[in-house]
Amino acid sequence: MSTTGLLLLLGVVGVLTYLYRYAMIGLFASRSLPGWLHALCRHIAPASFAALTASALFVTAGEVTFAFDTPRPWAALVAVLVAWCTRNVLATIAAGMAALYLFKFLASLLLAG
């Protein structure tokens, strides 16, 4: 994306985010949040993170590729297991990166041998 495009994107997301934050303490301070919006907000984060993770792992250039001969999906699997057991964000990231390096190293050994 061009520099102008990035700045414009930043402006749009920045203003939108600020308006959300100001909305109920400023713009609509006398009103309460509608129930449906409350319910909707609960599911936005899990839906967004799941879609982005699936896309980051299994989509390359608009095509679905299950590349199980590359280290990333396996490192992600390790991260999922660590996340499940520890429920610790930093441990999950550290374990995922460590697994990525380990699998890359093992793959280089296999190719060399």
Partner 1 sequence: MRLPSRLGEFLAGCRDESPLLLGVAPFGMIYGIAALAAGVPAWIAQLASAVVFAGAAQLVIVQMLAAGAGFVPIALTSGLLNLRHMLYSASMAEYVRHLPRRWRLLLAYVLTDEAYAVAVLRYQRRDAPPADAPDYRHWYFLGAGFTLWVGWQLSTAVGLVFGATIPPEWELDFAVPLTFIALLTLLLRERAGQAAAVVAGAGALLFAALPYKLGLVAAILLGLVAGAWTVHRLERAR
Give the residues lining the site for partner 1 (CB under 8 A).
Answer: 1, 3, 5-14, 16-18, 20-26, 29, 32-33, 37-59, 61-64, 72, 75-76, 79-80, 83-84, 87-90, 92-93, 96-97, 100
Kindly state the smallest distance separating residue 98's Cβ from partner 1, in Å.
Answer: 11
Kindly state the smallest distance separating residue 95's Cβ from partner 1, in Å.
Answer: 8
**Which of 40, 56, 60 has the alpha carbon at shortest distance from 100?**
56
User: Three-class SS of residue 33?
Assistant: coil
Kindly state the smallest distance separating residue 113's Cβ from partner 1, in Å.
Answer: 21
Please report where in the chains the tokens 């990035």 appear, as a residue.
6
Q: Which residues contact 78 (CB under 8 A, 6 or more apart)?
A: 95, 96, 99
Please report where in the chains the tokens 């400023």 appear, as a residue.
26
